[in-house]
Structure 1
Amino acid sequence: MTTSSGDFAKAVRVGRPPNIQKLFPHSQALLVSGKFIDLAMIKKKNALCIAANGRNSFVIRGALKAAQRANAALIIEIARSEGGADAYCAVNYWNIARIVDAACNEMGITIPVALHADHYGIKSENDIPDAKIEIPSMFEAGITSIAIDASHLPDDKNLLTNLELKPLIPDWSGLETEIGEIKGKLGLSTQSEALFLIQGLNAHDIFPNWIALNNGTVHGIEASGQGIQVDLTRDIHEALVPYHVSGAQHGTSGNSSLRLKEIAQQTHTTKANVATALQMISWGLEVNDDGNAALDADGNFIKVKDEGVTEAMWEKMVAFASTKGWKGGNYKKLNLPFENKLLGLPSTIRERMVNRVESFIYNLIANVFNAADTADLAIETILETNGFDPGPKSRRTEDPSNWTPEKIVQRATSIEGNQSPEGDFDD
């Protein structure tokens, strides 16, 4: 790290948002708004920040170690399905900040880290009342960035939901929005959908840092067929250039390093989510270059001897999954019942779990995502801002009178979109 100790100390003093200052007044962890992470990647050019889904504490620690080693800005995130009210992980929206802050101070982490509430899903209007209670509580617990995901809804209701929920989100927070519920090659996003959402938000003085598309990916370990469609992504991003919104790439597991490099080099993406691969790596499973866990001839995961958890613990995990009827992607549900069991393993085992994650993420940061040394760029932006909010990247150019609720509903009828069956890839 080339940032001086004095500049780092000032960044900690002025760059941490109010909720972090209140929660951790004596901390030396540089927990910041997601806005600074986005801006650092833009400064670096053709760089993606890994947004590591911290499904367990070993993934979080491995991601922090890797980012520190690469001197890279970092996003640690958890999705609503993973860490919401009906979570399948012990890490959740309300404890992730405390876990990350404690780990940063313990491990001497000096890179900027954003805490992202990924996929805060709104699947129907019935979800909105709970959202109005939960979202403020998440920021009170230390979240510094959020993705409002109403992509399951029709385009007009997606936009109207974003407008209704935005007042609950601090202006200094990073913000992500989404179109085209993620479900692989079905229902790919269109320029019309993207422009409709971003223009409608712009008219109401809302300027997201990121937009997530359905550009051909899935979540989890499902085969993605064609995978990420770089040309489609590039074309949509180019249409959005006047609004200065970056891309968020979801579902990176199942796509090769080459494909991810193309996303970095040819699109305006600055955030890349990695979830399932990191979970599998921490457990000690064999994972290929695409980030998918390898399977044996019987369709079972392959445990690498003396990697990740102990062989005896893996047998217990497999047996437990069998009693529940869990296979494939549903192994993710092992996170909650086994977190404390894994924390109770000997330190040598816990360390090798963390180190395996670190090695995988470091390679992504340094050799695929082009994000090395972005920590200095984020700190530089904090010092230039002399505060915790660098402000929006755009300004209002759309006429609000053209984007009333009634006109939003009317406009939505003319959007060119791709209809598809409902997906099940919410993390």
Structure 2
Amino acid sequence: MTTSSSDFSKALSVGRPPNIQRLFPNSKALLVSGKFIDLGMIKKANAICMAANGRNTFVIRGALRAAQRANSALIIEIARSEGGAGAYCATNYWNMARIVDAVCNELGITVPVAVHADHYGIKSKDDIPQAKIEIPTLFEAGLTSIAVDASHLPDDQNLLTNLELKPLIPDWAGLETEIGEIKGKEGLSTKDEALFLIQGLNANGIFPNWIALNNGSVHGLEASGQGIQVDLTKEIHEALMPYNVSGAQHGTSGNSSHRLREIANETRTTKANVATALQMISWGLEVNDDGNAALDEDGNFIKIEGQGVSEAMWMQMVAYADEKGWKGGNYKKLNLPFETKLMGLPKEIRQRMEDRVESFVYNMLVNVFNAQDSADLTIESILEADGFDPGPKARRIEDPQEWTPEKIAQRAALLETNEGPEGDFDD
């Protein structure tokens, strides 16, 4: 399938939300609400949109090229830890839309793209006042979708935080919510927790596009072999069917293509985050099928000669990490100090960094996530809506009187939960 030029022009004229129209009035980039990406994947059926964490420019460019080649919708995202006020990446909440728009126009990208604030983390009540100031600025800067992640809090406070922050998020924007602080095999989410959060939001007229679970996913490098729990995910998604919410899969690095295909085929997942793998691939490190960077006998990353960054640059990066005492997953902190150094590499090296990302993302989109040609279906949804907001997928079926703050606290006390250890697992 290929969208006609007239349909693309119509989608471009009506489908871009107000903030995108204001910031980029002459743009030919189809930056849209995350709502449309979700709808496009639902239309395709058993399809997942990659949400590529744009930790560096080369990941963003390679992922966009792959999506264009696969005729797939795409999400470019950054988490609060990666690109918030304390960013360790040069890409951040406030410049990401401008980068994505510029690259789309430069490369002639015509597939729909959402620009997502992933893991806007609320780790305590003290974070809420700053969130009320900061969240509006994200949409002023061009983001079109957000994940409110208060999953570090007790279940009642998670729900109440979502209720408190929703008025700051435009109605047209994509919305993701989360339960079960992500921590791999520890503290797996339960069906009761998921229903509690979604039912409480529903009673208050809030209908998120996605819910992220702790279904065995981790962030960064995965070595335990535990992996994503497909059956648990399926059970929770089936319980949530009356509320018409899709799944967002976090922590895909460290999980085999086979398991991710199962998530696509057997659950209601329409969004999957890929972060660490793309960073490592852009640098030229050896990565296995699970998206994990391979290690040598001494526990060091394996740089493939002639791929990714230059060998001299990689030596600089390793020396810098050694000086800082960074090992393993903490190599992510190299993104910020080295972005301009990488931008200053010769064109052929920058090109091979992008090429490697494109190859990996294309394979994931086509052979794992079944997302090929989802761009046409996403544009079809925009034309059906004849605007930038398709409206909610669900309707209110819960009684608001049963979900007052007092009753929320009472219900939360009765929940079956699976507590895991405390930690910092938000990227």
Separation in 1, partners of 2:356, 2:222: 23
Separation in 1, partners of 2:209, 2:104: 25
Tell me the equivalent position of 1:378. 378
SS in structure 2 opposite 1:3? Answer: coil
SS in structure 2 opposite 1:395? Answer: coil
Deviation of the 1:365 alpha carbon: 0.3
SS in structure 2 opposite 1:77? Answer: strand
Tell me the equivalent position of 1:51. 51
Tell me the equivalent position of 1:261. 261
Asked if 1:145 corresponds to 2:184, the answer is no
Deviation of the 1:183 alpha carbon: 0.1
Separation in 1, partners of 2:118, 2:258: 25
Asked if 1:218 corresponds to 2:218, the answer is yes
Q: How does 1:18-417 map to 2 (within 5 A)?
A: 18-417=18-417
SS in structure 2 opposite 1:175? Answer: strand
Deviation of the 1:423 alpha carbon: 2.9
Separation in 1, partners of 2:255, 2:390: 33
- Retained in 2: the 8 A contact 1:151–1:179? yes
RMSD of equivalent CA atoms? 0.6
Tell me the equivalent position of 2:6. 6
1:94-143, Cα deviation, whole Å (9 max, x unpaired): 00000000000000000000000000000000000010011000000000
Separation in 1, partners of 2:386, 2:278: 35
- Retained in 2: the 8 A contact 1:217–1:224? no
Separation in 2, partners of 1:317, 1:47: 37
SS in structure 2 opposite 1:314? Answer: helix
Tell me the equivalent position of 1:420. 420
> Runs of at least 4 residues of structure 1 off by over 3 A?
none
Separation in 2, partners of 1:265, 1:3: 26
- Retained in 2: the 8 A contact 1:211–1:245? yes
Amino acid aligned to 2:415: I
Separation in 1, partners of 2:129, 2:342: 36
Deviation of the 1:85 alpha carbon: 0.2
SS in structure 1 opposite 2:315? Answer: helix
Deviation of the 1:225 alpha carbon: 2.7
Separation in 1, partners of 2:224, 2:148: 24
Deviation of the 1:266 alpha carbon: 0.3
1:391-419, Cα deviation, whole Å (9 max, x unpaired): 00000000000001111011100000001
Separation in 2, partners of 1:222, 1:374: 30
SS in structure 1 opposite 2:393? Answer: coil
Q: Is there any run of 5+ residues in structure 2 with no aligned partner, and where?
A: none
Deviation of the 1:222 alpha carbon: 3.2
Separation in 1, partners of 2:165, 2:223: 34
Separation in 1, partners of 2:423, 2:111: 36
Deviation of the 1:2 alpha carbon: 1.1
- Retained in 2: the 8 A contact 1:56–1:90? yes
- Retained in 2: the 8 A contact 1:257–1:290? yes
- Retained in 2: the 8 A contact 1:63–1:361? yes
1:77-101, Cα deviation, whole Å (9 max, x unpaired): 0000000000000000000000000
- Retained in 2: the 8 A contact 1:216–1:224? no
Amino acid aligned to 2:92: N
Identity of aligned residues (%): 80
Structure 1 residues 416-425 or 385-394, which shifts more?
Answer: 416-425
Deviation of the 1:424 alpha carbon: 2.4
- Retained in 2: the 8 A contact 1:146–1:173? yes
Amino acid aligned to 1:171: D
Deviation of the 1:425 alpha carbon: 1.9
1:263-295, Cα deviation, whole Å (9 max, x unpaired): 000000000000000000000000000000000
Q: TM-score, normalised by structure 1?
A: 1.00
- Retained in 2: the 8 A contact 1:211–1:247? yes
Deviation of the 1:226 alpha carbon: 1.6
1:218-264, Cα deviation, whole Å (9 max, x unpaired): 10013243200000000000000000000000000000000000000
Separation in 1, partners of 2:196, 2:54: 32
Deviation of the 1:316 alpha carbon: 0.1
- Retained in 2: the 8 A contact 1:218–1:224? no
SS in structure 1 opposite 2:287? Answer: coil
Deviation of the 1:177 alpha carbon: 0.2
Deviation of the 1:217 alpha carbon: 1.1
Alpha carbons of 1:223 and 1:424: their partners in 2 closer, same or farther (altered >3 Å)?
farther
Deviation of the 1:310 alpha carbon: 0.1
SS in structure 2 opposite 1:201? Answer: helix
SS in structure 1 opposite 2:391? Answer: coil
Separation in 1, partners of 2:113, 2:299: 37
Separation in 2, partners of 1:409, 1:54: 38
